[in-house]
Each structure stands twice: as structure tokens, then as C-alpha cells.
Structure 1
Amino acid sequence: MWLWQFWIYSFLGYLLEKVFAKVTHAAQQGRKCFLLLPLCPVYGLGMLAVLALPPVCREGLRLVVWGGLAATAVEYAVHWAYDTFLHVRFWDYSRVWGNLRGRVCLPFTAAWGLLTALAVRWVQPWVAALAARVPGEVTCLCLLVFTADALVSARLLWVTGDVELLRADMG
């Protein structure tokens, strides 16, 4: 179930990136971290961190605060890992007020807090129900595709250092 929640939130994060890019008229029309699959793993990992919070931290205003902090901690860790191991940067907040090494910033921490609270309240019941219905065979097949794409994408980033190769539309 955790694996499907990771994939679903990674896909929803990809869609959020596309919408954000359209609304802000960004040059890159949405971040993508895989060669073929429309996934942004930082969103999936961030939501898993939020869902792993103790129940007392997932209530009311505490969810906004702890959800924002958990998602921001994951965002920092993922940025650090991409930068350290693959020598790439998918995002850079260095020009945003309240940033920490360009990896995270206060405005997005607040946004993540609100988004995670909304997701836990309104989206998570749907995601959990969907994840519970997927047959094991489908999960195994999807895991093979995901792993292959993740390995090819990581190798491509390692060799070229060019995140734009992952942003290109394949259609």
C-alpha cells in the first residue's frame, strides 16, 4: 500500500508541477524526474513522511505545521541527494526569500503545510482506497517498470548531468 501511495502522490505532484508551470508561465513546463514515467518522487516521499507522522501531529493546525516541516525536510534531503550523488539540481530557491542553500524556502514550506493538510483530509481517503484495490501482480509489473525507468533515468543524469533530457516530452 505504501508503494502505491508513493506512486500516486508522485504522479499527483507531477500534475501539480504542470499546473504551477502553466499558471506562472514558467519556461520549463513542469519538473519530471524520470525519463518515461510522469513522476516527481519528492512529492511521493513527502506525503509518505506526512502520513508517517504520529497521529497527534496529523490533527488540525498541527498537521499544517508538521506536514509543512516534514515535506520540507524531505525536499531538502532529496535535493541534497540529487546534488550529491547525481550532480544535478531540479530546483533552486536561492532567489527566494527565506531559502536554505537554495534547496528549500519558507514560502514553499507554508505552501507544503497547506497542501499536505488538504491532501490528508480530502485526497488520502481516495488514494488509500485505490491503493488497496490493486492486485499484487499489477504491483509487481509496475515495480519492474518503475525500477527500470528509475535506473535508466539515474544513469542518464549521472552521465550527462542534464535534467532537461527528462523534461522533454516524449510524444
Structure 2
Amino acid sequence: MTGAQQYFFYFIIYSFLGWVLEGTYNLYSNGSFRKEGFMKGPFKPMYGFAPLFLLLARDLALPLPVFLLLALIIPSAVEFISGWLLKTLFHRQWWDYSGLRYHLQGHICLRFSLYWWVLCIACIYGIQPLMEFLYQRVEPLWELLLPPVAFFFTADLLWTSWTRRRGGKKLELGES
């Protein structure tokens, strides 16, 4: 059975890997690793939440076709809800797919949903076994690191939220 401490480990690692993935994609497409995200630190929480929800679904021992469908729906739902919340709360859109076909309010589109689907399948069946192995090896160290990591993540989230709320109510499109 997986505990909250272990799930938080996965959340932090996947949020960090999401930051690396987006930075790498931005380096390839725009020539710069730095791509502004919502949080100031090296975390992209969407990339942390989607795998956690999929791990919970995996633990339900659903039939493979149902799980594969959820691997398409869950990351798209996380991305849509995240985009909608960020736009609603901070009056800014950090990504915009409205120039692509089959999009929904610019927050998600079919093309990137298919990318996330492949990435999630690779994550659950390829990366997650490595994450479980890694967690077993670092669990005693993680028990010591968890409080400062949780503090850093929470401080980043609160500081970013506060500064972005103070930044004005003007709707603007973030870097794409």
C-alpha cells in the first residue's frame, strides 16, 4: 500500500520532471530553456497530479482498455481544469491551443491530449517502476527531506499566488 509520503514523493518528482520536459520542449521550439510557468520554482504541478490520479486508477485493477481510456482523459482533464483555474483566478492564460484544431477554450486540444496520452502510458509502465525502485532506496532520506521540500513547494505556491494576484486583473496571454 502506498502512503501519502510516497505519493508526495511521486508528485514532487513528476512536477519537477514536467518542468524539465517543458523547458526542453521550449529549448527545442524557441531556443530558450526558460519558459514561464505559473510557479516560480522548478515545478509544474499538472505533471504531478495526472500521474497520481493514474496511479490511483491503476491500483483499482481496472480492465486495460478502461485504464488506457483514463490515460487519455485524466491528463486532459487536469490540463483543462488547471488552465481554467489559472485563467479564472489570475486572469492570465499560460498556454493557448486555440490556434490548433479540435481545441476546447484553448486549454486543451486533441493533438496535445494524444501526446499526454502516450506520455502517461510511458510514465505508468516505464517510469513509474523506476520511481518505485528509487523511492525504496531513498525512503529514509525522503523522511528527512520531506518537511523542507514541502515547505519550499508550499512557499513557492503561496508566494507565486500572492504576487500574481497583486499583479493586476488584466487578462493577458502568457508565453507560448
TM-score bracket relative to the smaller structure: 0.7 to 0.9
Equivalent position amino acid for 1:19 in 2:
T
In structure 2, C-alpha distance between the alignment counterparts of 1:130 and 1:88, rounded to whole Å:
37
Equivalent position amino acid for 2:62 in 1:
V
Give the equivalent residue in structure 1 for 2:146: 139
Q: Is the 8 A contact 2:23 2:33 kept in 1?
A: no
Give the equivalent residue in structure 1 for 2:82: 78
Higher alpha-carbon deviation: 130-139 or 114-123: 130-139
Give the equivalent residue in structure 1 for 2:62: 56
Matches within 5 A, 1:102-117: 102-117=106-121
Q: CA deviation at 1:63?
A: 4.3
Equivalent position amino acid for 1:23 in 2:
Y
| TM-score, length of structure 1 as denominator length | 0.84
In structure 2, C-alpha distance between the alignment counterparts of 1:137 and 1:78, rounded to whole Å:
31
Give the equivalent residue in structure 2 for 1:3: 8
Equivalent position amino acid for 1:8 in 2:
I
1:133-159 Cα offsets, whole Å, 9 max, x none, are: 243231011111111111001111111
State the structure with more CA Rg: 2
Give unmatched runs, 5+ long, in structure 1.
Answer: none
Please state whether the residue corresponding to 2:13 is helix, strand or coil. helix
Q: Is the 8 A contact 1:14 1:31 kept in 2?
A: no
Q: Is the 8 A contact 1:64 1:116 kept in 2?
A: no
CA separation of 1:28/1:136 partners in 2, compared to 1, >3 Å: closer, same or farther?
A: closer
Matched residues, number: 162
In structure 1, C-alpha distance between the alignment counterparts of 2:98 and 2:55, rounded to whole Å:
29
Match of 1:157 among 157, 164, 170: 164
Equivalent position amino acid for 1:140 in 2:
P
In structure 2, C-alpha distance between the alignment counterparts of 1:109 and 1:149, rounded to whole Å:
28
1:111-140 Cα offsets, whole Å, 9 max, x none, are: 111100001111101222333424323101
Does residue 91 in structure 1 map to residue 89 in structure 2? no
In structure 2, C-alpha distance between the alignment counterparts of 1:26 and 1:106, rounded to whole Å:
25
Matches within 5 A, 1:27-42: 29-35=34-40, 37-42=41-46
Q: Is the 8 A contact 2:27 2:33 kept in 1?
A: no
| TM-score, length of structure 2 as denominator length | 0.81
In structure 1, C-alpha distance between the alignment counterparts of 2:20 and 2:71, rounded to whole Å:
20
Please state whether the residue corresponding to 1:56 is helix, strand or coil. coil
Identity %: 26
